[in-house]
């Protein structure tokens, strides 16, 4: 039975996240329905990351086992045909080794958070960025962000319903850059806690607004207390950009 690796792009706006639910539309549910339409099988599609409601992806990865073998490109095209009109695109569908696991074989995940720092209302980017009207000091945000790098107990930046066994994670990258009105936050790690990225972004925005200093951010991390966290950024601006494998 071939194992297929799927590389997927989606707009998370109409979905209640990745993980399948009985009463709400999800990305996983739409993909599994498309697989069944092609193969007639109930197949579990396993994702590399369980993105939350409203979170987007440029390079989500999933795997599934399908009894039928398809010529190169045929499964990708068939899934895309059955996914319409959902805003989901299968970019590639490749046969991989039987021991490949989209989630557990991953060695690094890369996320982008997009902020538009403008007082003007959004038009084209509604649901795809976080509009922050107050002026942000992206340089101060970047300097403060470096205080979160390395291995730490990230309880402060962890959702209270997070199911991870340990709050310890190793953050490899957290960069803040500005280009015009756009403030982009790029972060990478082997794995993240539930809502960790959005929690870090919200706290960094407080730094950018001058409410917090870099020392305040470091103190919040050290507190290991969810109550010490700044605001949680909305899902609109978050994108799973890429998942790395050996």
DSSP state string for 52-102? PTT-EEEEEEEEEE-SS---TTHHHHHHHHHHTTSSEEEEEEEEE-TT--T
Residue range 112-153, pLDDT digits in tens: 999 999 999 999 999 999 999 999 999 999 999 999 999 999
Predicted confidence at residue 1, as pLDDT, reads: 86
Let me know if 161 is exposed, middle or buried by CB neighbors in 10 A (0-12, 13-18, 19+): exposed
pLDDT score of 138:
98
User: What residues have CB less than 8 Å from 154, skipping those under 6 apart?
Assistant: 167, 168, 169, 171, 193, 196, 221
| Whole-number Cα distances in Å, 228 to 52, 164, 213, 217 | 22, 20, 14, 9
Name the pTM for this structure: 0.96
Cis peptide before 85 (omega within 30 of 0): yes
Q: Is 216 in a helix, a strand, or coil?
A: helix
Q: Which of 11, 22, 52, 175 is catalytic?
A: 52
The pLDDT > 90 percentage for the chain reads 95
Q: What is the per-residue pLDDT across 144-193, written as a single tens digit (0 to 9) for each?
A: 999 999 999 999 999 998 989 999 999 999 999 999 999 999 999 999 99
Average pLDDT over residues 85-106: 97
| Residue 236: active-site member | no
Please, which pLDDT band fits residue 41 given cuts at 50, 70 and 90? Answer: confident
| Interval 201-235: pLDDT, tens | 999 999 999 999 999 999 999 999 999 999 999 99
| Cα gap 192→196, rounded to integer Å | 6
204 vs 200: CA distance, rounded Å = 6
Give the pLDDT confidence score for residue 103 in this predicted structure: 96
Q: Is pLDDT at 69 greater than 90 in this prediction?
A: no
Give pLDDT, residue 131.
98
Q: How far apart are CA 66 and CA 49, in angstroms?
A: 21
The mean pLDDT value of the chain amounts to 96
């Amino acid at each position: 039975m071939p194992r297929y690796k799927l590389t997927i792009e989606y707009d998370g706006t109409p979905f209640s996240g990745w993980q399948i639910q009985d009463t709400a539309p999800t990305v996983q549910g739409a993909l599994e329905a498309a697989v069944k339409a092609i193969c007639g099988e109930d197949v579990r599609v396993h994702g590399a990351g369980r993105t939350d409601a409203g979170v987007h992806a440029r390079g989500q990865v999933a795997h599934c086992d399908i009894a039928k073998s398809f010529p190169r490109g045929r499964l990708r095209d068939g899934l895309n045909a059955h996914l319409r009109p959902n805003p989901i695109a299968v970019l590639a569908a490749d046969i991989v080794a039987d021991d490949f696991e989209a989630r557990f074989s991953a060695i690094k995940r890369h996320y982008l958070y997009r902020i538009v720092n403008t007082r003007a209302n959004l038009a084209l980017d509604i649901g795809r960025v976080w509009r922050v009207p107050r002026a942000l000091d992206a340089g101060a945000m970047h300097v403060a962000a470096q205080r979160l790098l390395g291995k730490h107990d990230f309880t402060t930046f962890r959702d209270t319903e997070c199911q991870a066994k340990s709050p310890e994670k190793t953050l490899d990258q957290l960069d803040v850059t500005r280009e015009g009105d756009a403030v982009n936050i790029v972060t990478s790690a082997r794995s993240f806690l539930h809502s960790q990225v959005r929690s870090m972004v919200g706290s960094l925005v407080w730094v950018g607004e001058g409410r917090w200093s870099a020392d305040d951010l470091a103190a919040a991390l050290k507190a290991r207390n969810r109550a010490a966290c700044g605001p949680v950024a909305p899902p609109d601006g978050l994108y799973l950009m890429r998942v790395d494998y050996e």
